[in-house]
Amino acid sequence: MTKIVDHIAQAKGRTLFSFEILPPLKGESINTIYAGIEPLMEFKPPFIDVTYHREEYVYRQKPGGLLEKRVERKRPGTVGICAAIMNRFHVDAVPHIICGGFSREETEEALIDLHFLGIDNVLAMRGDAIKSEGRFYPEPDGHAYATDLISQIRALNEGKYLDPEMPRPTPTNFCIGVAGYPEKHFEAPNMKTDLKWLKKKIELGGEYIVTQMFFNNQAFLDFVEKCRAEGITVPIIPGLKPITTRKQLTLLPSIFHVDIPEALAEACETCKTDAEVKQIGIEWCIQQSKELVSAGVPVLHYYSMGKSDAVKAIAKEVF
Ligand code: FAD
């Protein structure tokens, strides 16, 4: 197991390739995951991220018209998938770990599981609100912000478990990544405040930053400059997503609070089919990727969303 920051250091300035996958929907086979990863292995990703999906409320109609409210997790399996990927592909897997839905005790148990499995990289985040709730609510004994989660992981790395009287506390060895937002986190009142908290996440133990997707490289480059001006010196990994359907032109801004440049949106709107949109999205992302490699980014991290063909077409041109 190699820490992400060590992968970056060992690359000695060469830009690495990596990507993020989603666990399959509950009930689907892990083979769907393998099928999404296999075509990308030729580009030698040193690590693959696996997202975490919290519970949702679903409503089922009962006889008589009453609605039954149920709590469901539609994409469980993050930790199992990480272990399976490491076994099968011999690359590092980075589970995403969030505050939402976890008490401190449950977080500690999840971290112990990861430690026992030899998974020592995590991307630590707050998570979003439950879909049907307007804002994020922490568990009664859970963390409200990524800063608190990072502090717990850091404490565990120092052998400090929740029970201060534990007789033989074994320190863990997690390399902690954190999320950053070139176009600002949507809840932050302004970029300055958002950067203040980003800096705090690094001071508390974050060792590198992975960004939200963006479609305008200048937004990323400006963000890196502002981070450096604030004294944030850790590696900043850009996250890239090729647009593959016309629907994403409105979906991505509404879910991820990102801007789609006029030129990209207009080019997609003139397309007659989604196949044409996908080609435009791939070409845009190749251009973004090439510019970012020239700018010396440590890693290009693609949001594959489980589908490898678009990312493969891009990686072929860039790596
Ligand atoms: P935080 O850093 O906690 O920030 C949340 C907001 O509060 C920001 O506006 C920030 O400015 C402010 N803030 C931060 N710390 C404090 C503090 N101590 N006091 C007051 N204000 C503060 N979500 C998932 O559910 N699963 C995933 O797998 C997942 N993967 C992601 C991967 C990447 C690369 C990115 C960029 C996001 C991912 N997300 C995922 C989404 C993420 O959980 C949301 O964007 C969430 O709204 C914020 O998470 P965060 O860790 O950035 O939050």
> What does the DSSP assignment read for 68-105?
EEEEE-SS--HHHHHHHHHHHH-SEEEEEEESTT--HH
**Mean pLDDT over residues 107-124, rounded?**
98
| Lowest mean pLDDT, pick from 36-45, 65-74, 168-177, 289-298 | 65-74
d(CA 291, CA 200): 30
Q: Which domains does the chain have, with CATH numbers?
A: 4-318 (3.20.20.220)
Mutate to test the pocket of ligand 1, among 52, 126, 199, 213 (most ligand atoms within 8 A of CB): 126
Question: For residue 242, what pLDDT is reported?
Answer: 97
Is the distance from CB of 163 to CB of 187 less than 8 angstroms? Answer: no
Whether 197 lines ligand 1, by a CB cut-off of 6 Å, is yes
Taking only the tens place, the pLDDT of each residue in 65-108 is 889 888 888 999 999 999 999 999 999 999 999 999 999 999 99
As a whole number, the mean pLDDT across the chain is 96
Given 20, 108, 183, 207, the catalytic residue? 20
What distance in angstroms lies between residue 257's CA and the mean position of ligand 1's atoms?
Answer: 12
Which is nearest to 122 in space by CA: 91, 158, 98? 98
**Annotated catalytic residue 20:** yes
Question: For residue 48, what pLDDT is reported?
Answer: 98
Whether 92 lines ligand 1, by a CB cut-off of 6 Å, is no
d(CA 280, CA 267): 7
Q: Helix (H, G, I), strand (E, B), or coil: what is residue 58? A: strand
Whether 183 lines ligand 1, by a CB cut-off of 6 Å, is no
pLDDT surpassing 80 at residue 306: no
Backbone phi, psi, residue 302, to 5° = -100, 135
**Residue 269's CB: how many other CB atoms inside 10 A?**
11
pLDDT surpassing 90 at residue 281: yes
260 band by pLDDT with thresholds 50, 70 and 90: very high
d(CA 94, CA 203): 21
Atom of ligand 1 at shortest distance to CA of 193? 11
Place of tokens 């990544």: 177
15: which 2 tokens?
A: 């830009």
Whether 248 lines ligand 1, by a CB cut-off of 6 Å, is no
pLDDT surpassing 90 at residue 133: no
**Mean pLDDT over residues 214-229, rounded?**
98
Which is nearest to 4 in space by CA: 224, 180, 178? 178
